[in-house]
Amino acid sequence: MDRIRAPYSPGAGEPPPALVGRAQKLDDMDVALQRRQLGRSAKSVMLTGLRGVGKTVLLNEFGKTARTHGYYHEHIEVDESVDFPSVLAFTVRRLLLRFSAAQRMGERIQRALGVLKAFSVQWPNGPTFSADVHSVLGPADSGDLATDLAGLLCELGEAAQAIGVGVFLTIDQIQYLARPELSALMVSLHRATQLGLPVVVAGAGLPSLPALLGDAKSYAERMFDFAEIGSLSPTESAEAILRPAAQEGVLWQPAAVDFVVDLTRGYPYFLQAFSKQAWDMANGPTEISRSDVDASVAFTLAELDSGFFRVRISRTTDAERTYLRAMAVLGPGPYQTSEVASFLGKTVQQVGFVRNSLLKRGICYAPRWGQVAFTVPMFDGFLRRWLNVADEI
């Protein structure tokens, strides 16, 4: 029977899988934004979890919520090579120019641009300025990153406050920031909060993020609400599959839903990937069966293997791949670092530099002392599939 369905996607008004069951997180963010807008204290939010659980989707939703309350939202995505001071400087420049577009270029905004110009001289690779913007020396050009970042962020907050708006920054992949940068960011937020400025930050990172922030500044837990984002429950997973289909008048057989839920372990990215492929391959037009799902599994895995999974190891060294292969052969994890080392015929100290490199790359994380685990769900299965094809990954 010919398929007459629309391409797979959440229907109008339907949340993507990553937002199912996350309503409380959105409500908490909404309250924090309103409190800061009134000059009251409110913790910033840090989302933590494995890759593919929907942290970025939530950050985007936070941004939408912020805009409804009159905040100006900017998003920063960090990677291994980011020059954070210059990226933040470009972000502040965009915000100040947006302020001036909405209001006439006032004295307060002009001063903030001058502080930013002085900051960019001290911390090069940032934005350039026209000749009519004069550097304002003092607040953000000392050469100490924490002091200068705090000065810059507070100038931004004061400019926002002067025109009756707020600033909302979302920072994704925040675990890639170096410790001095993390420390400077926290000092800046702490200072802006003390002054009651309308500046709110929400970040997202891997499960190691709380420990990284705690190492950077001991008061991290007083500044942030750490929200762990994990897999969906079986009920939530089924809802994420069924609701978009129902919007298009399509039903799933219960056995098909149960199989996808079990196969994906409730991880939103995989729920969407397997559901999409089953949708595309089903005979239809109004039902998706268990046999449709069975027929689509190999294609879904092939797509994940060549894209989502493969990109995670594309830049790894031979030593790192050997370590990853040992982890995969040992099972799903988490793994004792001593077991991985023993499997490789080495001591923990001999392979410690490889483990640390994988942690820095964000391919692995340490659930607790003496352990290591993959940051990507089902990554062990991907590696074992590759092991069946070749001797080397």
- pLDDT over 90 at 170, yes or no: yes
* Residue carrying the six token digits 């936070």: 62
Taking only the tens place, the pLDDT of each residue in 262-315 is 999 999 999 999 999 999 988 878 899 999 999 999 999 999 999 999 888 888
What domains sit in the chain, N to C, each tagged with a CATH number? 22-228 (3.40.50.300), 234-310 (1.10.8), 315-389 (1.10.10.10)
Average pLDDT over residues 62-90: 94
Taking only the tens place, the pLDDT of each residue in 83-114 is 999 999 999 999 999 998 766 657 888 899 99
- pLDDT over 70 at 2, yes or no: no
**Bridge partner residues of 166 (DSSP):** 71
Please state, for a pLDDT cut of 70, what percent of the chain lies above it. 92
Query: What confidence tier does 73 reach under pLDDT thresholds 50, 70, 90?
Result: very high
Verdict on whether the full-model pTM lies above 0.85: yes
| Res 15: pLDDT | 60
